[in-house]
Amino acid sequence: MPKSYRTCEIVQQLEYLTEDQIEKGLDHNAVKDYAYILHDKDENKDGELKKSHWHICIRFKDSVPTESICNWFGITENYINKIRGRFGDALAYLTHKNAAEKYQYLEESVKSNFDFKKEAEIKQGREADKARKAELVDLITGGVIREYNYTEYITPQEYDKFKKTIDNAFNYRRDKLEGSDRNMKCIYVCGDAGTGKTTWAKDFAQRNKYSYYISSGSNDLLDNYKGQDCLILDDIRPNYIDVSDLLKLLDNHTNSTVKSRYKNKMLECKVVIITTSLTMEVFFRNLIGDSRENLKQMRRRCEMYIMMTNLTMSVKLWQSQSEEYIQVGVYENPVANKYSKHDRTLEEAKEYVDNMILFPVCADNETISNAYGFTEMKDSEDVFTGQLTLPV
């Protein structure tokens, strides 16, 4: 079967093909698009100039037999090459835009029946988009870009343009991490309210330059977790999570997805910190699920066990061989003085209220007595029960 072409490139030396011959060969109704250039500054490996030669790119409306092309340009078949790949890549080679090691010809040197410069700009934009997409995929699958920090790397325009690629890259990373090894530390912190458990956990993350996520105050602990380095399960209650799910979440060595309301989450933590008012023993025995689970499973996972008071921090460390905690020491509570605790004087209280709530004038006794349904607040009242009675 005779050869035919939908796109082709003709390469021929100047001494055997004149520009008049080229123009005459292109003057056929079958030709849809064309562009050509004279390469007269190409060098061989020795640095010597090559003979001047034409590069002609043609896109036809329909397939054209080889014999016809040969007749139009007065050449033999061996000077015709099929364009493999995209026509735009062949156009880019005319100026060597896609061959940086070669002489870069000016776009103005190209002759075409379309706006070659505009086509080159479109091509350049496509190449830039292709390179940027590849870069984003590498950054996401490599764990540099995560769901919590993607806005630092990806512009709104890029997100709109590459959303499918970005989503696929995040999904690929989750699949890649499933079942893989990890080295995650777990810290259990217990103490009464106001002892600074959460404050210490945040300080720990900041000192170690970890991004951190504080769990939501519901039974969906990971609702907005987006791959942060430190997960703080803050003020967690036993009825928030099933025992098997918690043990899976705290697994120090194996990555796995953790149950969440809308979509299961893949932990990418270096550290998980549990803060609660309950000791580990009480907490574990009140978890949802099978009560026959061994407490030692949680102890193994929580390498550090901290008990906090307003003034002290008692620290235990898990011993893997003897399988018990060793008391390391009792330290001063490092966050005890972070937030000032003192009672305001009446004058300080009034100044604070004036600044915060902007009451410029205190009500006098007559105004108070005429206030419908007014009830003065008492220290012993837990809830305001007075009813406001409006005049009829």
User: Residue 208 is encoded by which pair of tokens?
Assistant: 């170690």
What per-residue confidence (pLDDT) applies to 101?
92
Residues whose CB falls within 8 Å of the CB of residue 91, separated by 6 or more in sequence, listed in order = 35, 57, 116, 119, 120, 123
pLDDT at 239 (0 to 100): 84
Instruction: Give whole-number Cα distances, 206 to 57, 77, 200, 217, 331, in Å.
Output: 60, 70, 10, 22, 20
Instruction: Give the pLDDT of the chain (392 residues) as one tens digit per residue.
Output: 668 999 999 999 999 999 999 999 999 999 999 999 999 999 998 889 999 999 999 999 999 999 999 999 999 999 999 998 888 889 999 999 889 899 999 999 999 999 998 887 887 788 889 999 999 999 999 999 999 999 999 999 999 999 999 999 999 998 888 878 888 999 999 999 989 999 999 999 999 999 999 986 666 788 888 989 999 999 988 888 888 888 888 888 887 777 666 567 778 889 999 999 999 999 998 888 766 778 999 999 999 999 999 999 999 999 999 999 999 999 999 998 887 677 889 988 888 888 887 766 777 777 777 776 655 656 554 444 444 444 44
Q: List Cβ<8 Å contacts ≥24 apart for 142-150.
A: 143/173, 143/268, 146/211, 146/226, 146/227, 146/228, 146/268, 147/226, 147/227, 148/211, 148/213, 148/226, 148/227, 148/228, 149/211
Say what the pLDDT of residue 72 is: 96
pLDDT at position 309 is 93
Cα(312)–Cα(118) distance, integer angstroms: 71
86, 22 Cβ separation under 8 angstroms: no
Among the listed residues 273, 294, 118, the one whose alpha carbon sits nearest the alpha carbon of residue 185: 273
* Closest C-alpha among 59, 58, 68 to residue 36: 58
CA distance 166 to 159: 8
The reported pTM is 0.65
- The pLDDT of residue 340 is 66
Q: Indicate the DSSP class of residue 100.
A: T
